[in-house]
Amino acid sequence: MTTDTPTTFADFGLDPRIQSALDGLGFEKPTDIQSAALPPLLAGKDVIGRARTGSGKTAAFGLPLLHHLADSGRGVKALVLAPTRELAQQVSAALQSYGKGLGVEGVTIYGGAPYGPQLKALRRGVPIVVGTPGRLLDHLGSGALDLSQVEYVVLDEADEMLRMGFAEDVETLLGAITGPRQVALFSATMPGPIARIAKTYMNDPETIQMEQGAPATAHITQAWTRVPNRFKPDALRRALLGGDRGTTLVFARTRASCGDIASHLESLGLRVEPLHGDMNQKARERVLQRLRDAELEVVVATDIAARGIDVNHITQVVNLDLPENAEVYVHRIGRTGRAGREGRALTMVTPAEVRRFGFFQRKLNQPVQEVQLPSDRDLGMRGRGRLQKAIEDIDPELASDWLATLLEDEERSVEDIAAQALGLLAKMGGVPLAQDELDDGPPPWARRPNRPERQQRPQGNRPQGGPGPRQQGFGGPGGRPDTSSHVELFLPVGRQAGVRPADLVGALANEAGVPGNIIGRITIDDHKSFVGLPPDVAAQVLKRYPQIELRGRQVPLTKSRGRHPSLPNKPNKPWQKNHRGKGRG
Ligand code: AMP
């Protein structure tokens, strides 16, 4: 980018009706991609824009498109191809807002919608057609879509179209445009097949690479952390509660897991919604609206559902799993840092995936920094800081009458009442009070096992890969526990859900950091389970882990209210004997 590029939209000499629409929208300065792409596009040249989503690329190709088409007659003059219905709708909406003074009609064409209105618009000869390749091809095949008058073609998010298997459809559509036309191609990455399409269908294109040589994600602070799969719920908790509260988009691999992850985060007090393809359109739109209205702190989405997200205020993207390839990675993290803002991205990488993630980094020519997630004490201090800030924001006058009444009626000092109120706030906000007792070490999975100490432990009880001896806060090492004072935790799942003693020991060890050797009696009934723990450990676990992941599900953990009469007090099931025999040594 040179310094003599236009700095205001007025420098482009756009149709005054477009200029006044931009003024109305409050677009004062062109974004980098707009400054770079508008002059060649307005001059009729083909352009390849290597730009990320959120860079303002829609106006970059849309303003010249509208400028060319102002006062155009009937017949399809502009064809915009987009990978998804959501993007097609966004582009249409943007074109409509930029061109509202022009009176140029457009139609959005995508699969899954009724053919009737699309056919009607095409027959009427609307000049702007924005659509997804599949349905456009249907209309081309049936003769409803006539491309003989097309003058301006846009391929938006071309790499995404390729990834979704549209390359052939795109080529068929481009091949059907026989007359002279101007082509604009936008893509965050430039895989081989896209480069070939550009070579075949574009005429001496000017390539615009934003931030000279820098990848499209250079403005996003990227980090990764090494975490085994089973620790991911805890890692996510640390990532979300330990960072600046903003709006986070969490990517999950499957539709089913979105709901589970969202429930887990909700139990931590976060305002969160899942977003996935099993939800109907209305439910998805409701989530998107809440996100736009800044009512949500977290959205947990699958790749496909996340395509519908067009929000500029996402501050962080978390990849709970490694995306399938580097292109998907770029698209995912491009959901943050939009419209000139900064963004952050965190990717969770299992030990087995570290090499593959290294390959992504080399491919993107961008090193990503490995980070350690916050310790329990960091989280506690953050939580306390948040509460303190919230308290400072409250006008003391608000409750002064109430306080005066309390001071009059009861024999308590101001200090007592303040301390009690703080205690209650901490409890409600899930913020531990005894900060000094909180663990200040790295998260359980990131700890180095301390071999000599480990040998003191009874054999065979701690599941493989479980936390090392640093979990001492939960109980001393070694020795068969005295279980007479044990408190029982209750879990509303049992044998019918396939729960085995090893699952319970594993879940408590891996998620809550409870060493296997202090776990007491385990009882598993058809639909419920009980686990005995020393009272102090039980109290800590209950406080910090209202839910725990068991056989892939988040299961509430509560204190048992006394034993169910149907449950025997002594082990009488073969697996109980097994567990005790094997586990307790
Ligand atoms: P896009 O990359 O086209 O999806 O645009 C991202 C967001 O930036 C959209 O919400 C646009 O409305 C907004 N935007 C695009 N260009 C400008 C501009 N020059 N000034 C302010 N906002 C803009």
Quote the pLDDT of residue 550: 81
When pLDDT is averaged across residues 157-171 and rounded to a whole number, the result is: 88
Question: Relative to the CA of 90, which ligand 1 atom is closest?
Answer: 4
Residue with tokens 């990320």: 52
b/e burial code for range 321-334 (CB count within 10 A of at least 16 → b): bbbeebbbbbbbbb
Distance (Å) from CA 58 to ligand 1 centroid: 7
Residue from 8, 29, 31 to probe ligand 1 pocket by mutation (most atoms less than 8 Å from CB): 31
Quote the pLDDT of residue 580: 33
Tokens for 88, please give them. Answer: 């097609």
The terminus-to-terminus CA distance of the chain in angstroms comes to 71
The residues that bridge with 523 in the sheet, in sequence order, are 530
- Looking at the structure, tell me whether residues 137 and 236 fall in a common domain: no
pLDDT at 136 over 70: yes
Quote the pLDDT of residue 447: 75
pLDDT at 437 over 80: no
Query: What is the widest separation between alpha-carbon atoms in the chain?
Result: 90
Quote the pLDDT of residue 579: 34
Distance CA 284, CA 258 (A): 13
Quote the pLDDT of residue 60: 96
Which has more pLDDT, 400 or 338?
A: 400
Nearest alpha carbon, ligand 1 atom 15: 56
Distance CA 548, CA 555 (A): 5
Residue 580 lies in a domain: no
pLDDT at 526 over 90: no
pLDDT at 296 over 70: yes
- Looking at the structure, tell me whether residues 109 and 247 fall in a common domain: no
Residue 447 lies in a domain: no
Nearest alpha carbon, ligand 1 atom 11: 56
Distance (Å) from CA 9 to ligand 1 centroid: 13
209, 242, 210: which is closest to 223 by C-alpha? 242
The residues that bridge with 107 in the sheet, in sequence order, are 129
Distance CA 485, CA 184 (A): 73
Query: CATH number for the domain including 343?
Result: 3.40.50.300
Which pairs count as long-range contacts for 25-30, CB under 8 Å and 24+ apart, including other chains? Answer: 25/97, 25/98, 27/59, 30/6, 30/56, 30/59
Residue 553 lies in a domain: yes
pLDDT band, residue 47 (cuts 50/70/90): very high
Quote the pLDDT of residue 560: 86
Distance (Å) from CA 167 to ligand 1 centroid: 27
82 Cβ contact partners less than 8 Å away, ≥ 6 residues apart: 88, 91, 130, 131, 132, 156, 157, 161
Tokens for 334, please give them. Answer: 């491009």
Which has more pLDDT, 562 or 163?
A: 163
Distance (Å) from CA 40 to ligand 1 centroid: 19
When pLDDT is averaged across residues 171-180 and rounded to a whole number, the result is: 93
- Looking at the structure, tell me whether residues 296 and 325 fall in a common domain: yes
Given 165, 188, 213, which residue is the final one in a domain?
A: 213
pLDDT band, residue 562 (cuts 50/70/90): low
pLDDT at 97 over 80: yes
When pLDDT is averaged across residues 493-519 and rounded to a whole number, the result is: 79
Distance (Å) from CA 298 to ligand 1 centroid: 23
CA 324 from centre of chain: 15
Residue 459 lies in a domain: no
How long, in residues, is the chain? 585
- Looking at the structure, tell me whether residues 226 and 334 fall in a common domain: yes
Give the chain's mean pLDDT.
Answer: 82
pLDDT at 34 over 80: yes
Distance CA 509, CA 507 (A): 5
Distance CA 367, CA 223 (A): 9
Distance (Å) from CA 339 to ligand 1 centroid: 6
CA 388 from centre of chain: 28
Distance (Å) from CA 341 to ligand 1 centroid: 11
pLDDT at 448 over 70: no
pLDDT at 456 over 50: no
- Looking at the structure, tell me whether residues 389 and 522 fall in a common domain: no
Query: CATH number for the domain including 535?
Result: 3.30.70.330
> pLDDT digits over 371-389, tens only?
999 988 888 888 888 888 8
pLDDT at 453 over 60: no
Which has more pLDDT, 325 or 177?
A: 177
Given 156, 191, 213, which residue is the final one in a domain?
A: 213
Pocket of ligand 1 from Cβ distances under 6 Å: 27, 29-31, 34, 53-59, 312, 338-339
Collapse the DSSP code of 464 into the 3-class scheme (helix H, G, I; strand E, B; otherwise coil) and give the result: coil
Nearest alpha carbon, ligand 1 atom 6: 54
Question: Relative to the CA of 9, which ligand 1 atom is closest?
Answer: 19
Residue 85 lies in a domain: yes
Question: Relative to the CA of 310, which ligand 1 atom is closest?
Answer: 4
- Looking at the structure, tell me whether residues 197 and 282 fall in a common domain: no
pTM above 0.95, yes or no: no
When pLDDT is averaged across residues 563-583 and rounded to a whole number, the result is: 34
Nearest alpha carbon, ligand 1 atom 14: 56
Question: Relative to the CA of 57, which ligand 1 atom is closest?
Answer: 3
Distance (Å) from CA 480 to ligand 1 centroid: 64
Nearest alpha carbon, ligand 1 atom 22: 27
User: Backbone phi, then psi, for 464, in 5-degree steps?
Assistant: -50, 135
- Looking at the structure, tell me whether residues 179 and 255 fall in a common domain: no
Residue from 18, 53, 55, 58 to probe ligand 1 pocket by mutation (most atoms less than 8 Å from CB): 58
Distance CA 120, CA 516 (A): 69
Question: Relative to the CA of 55, which ligand 1 atom is closest?
Answer: 2
Distance (Å) from CA 186 to ligand 1 centroid: 15
Question: Relative to the CA of 52, which ligand 1 atom is closest?
Answer: 2
Nearest alpha carbon, ligand 1 atom 10: 312
Phi-psi region of 277 (alpha: psi -120 to 50; beta: other; left: phi over 0): alpha
40, 95, 34: which is closest to 70 by C-alpha? 95
Quote the pLDDT of residue 213: 43
Nearest alpha carbon, ligand 1 atom 5: 56
- Looking at the structure, tell me whether residues 97 and 173 fall in a common domain: yes
> pLDDT digits over 137-153, tens only?
999 999 999 999 999 99
Question: Relative to the CA of 340, which ligand 1 atom is closest?
Answer: 8
Distance CA 172, CA 168 (A): 6
CA 369 from centre of chain: 19
Least reliable range by pLDDT among 1-5, 277-281, 523-527, 557-561 = 1-5
Residue 574 lies in a domain: no
pLDDT at 449 over 80: no
Given 213, 242, 265, which residue is the final one in a domain?
A: 213
Quote the pLDDT of residue 561: 78
Question: Relative to the CA of 30, which ligand 1 atom is closest?
Answer: 19
Distance (Å) from CA 311 to ligand 1 centroid: 10
> pLDDT digits over 307-353, tens only?
768 788 899 999 999 998 888 898 888 888 776 677 899 999 998 89
Nearest alpha carbon, ligand 1 atom 4: 54
Distance (Å) from CA 67 to ligand 1 centroid: 18
- Looking at the structure, tell me whether residues 358 and 387 fall in a common domain: no
- Looking at the structure, tell me whether residues 232 and 162 fall in a common domain: no
Residue 119 lies in a domain: yes
- Looking at the structure, tell me whether residues 69 and 107 fall in a common domain: yes
Distance (Å) from CA 464 to ligand 1 centroid: 50
- Looking at the structure, tell me whether residues 226 and 198 fall in a common domain: no
Quote the pLDDT of residue 129: 97
Quote the pLDDT of residue 573: 31
pLDDT band, residue 128 (cuts 50/70/90): very high
Residue 90 lies in a domain: yes
Least reliable range by pLDDT among 417-426, 488-497, 535-544 = 535-544
Least reliable range by pLDDT among 74-83, 445-454, 552-561 = 445-454
DSSP 170-197: HHHHHHT--S--EEEEE-SS--HHHHHH
Distance (Å) from CA 60 to ligand 1 centroid: 9
pLDDT at 293 over 80: yes
The residues that bridge with 522 in the sheet, in sequence order, are 531
CA Rg value for the chain? 30
Domain that holds residue 530: 479-559
Q: Are 521 and 532 in contact (CB under 8 A)?
A: yes
Distance (Å) from CA 507 to ligand 1 centroid: 46
Distance (Å) from CA 92 to ligand 1 centroid: 14
Nearest alpha carbon, ligand 1 atom 16: 56
Distance CA 394, CA 399 (A): 9
Nearest alpha carbon, ligand 1 atom 19: 30
Instruction: Report how many domains make up the chain.
Output: 4
Tokens for 236, please give them. Answer: 């996510």
Nearest alpha carbon, ligand 1 atom 21: 27
Distance CA 313, CA 187 (A): 22
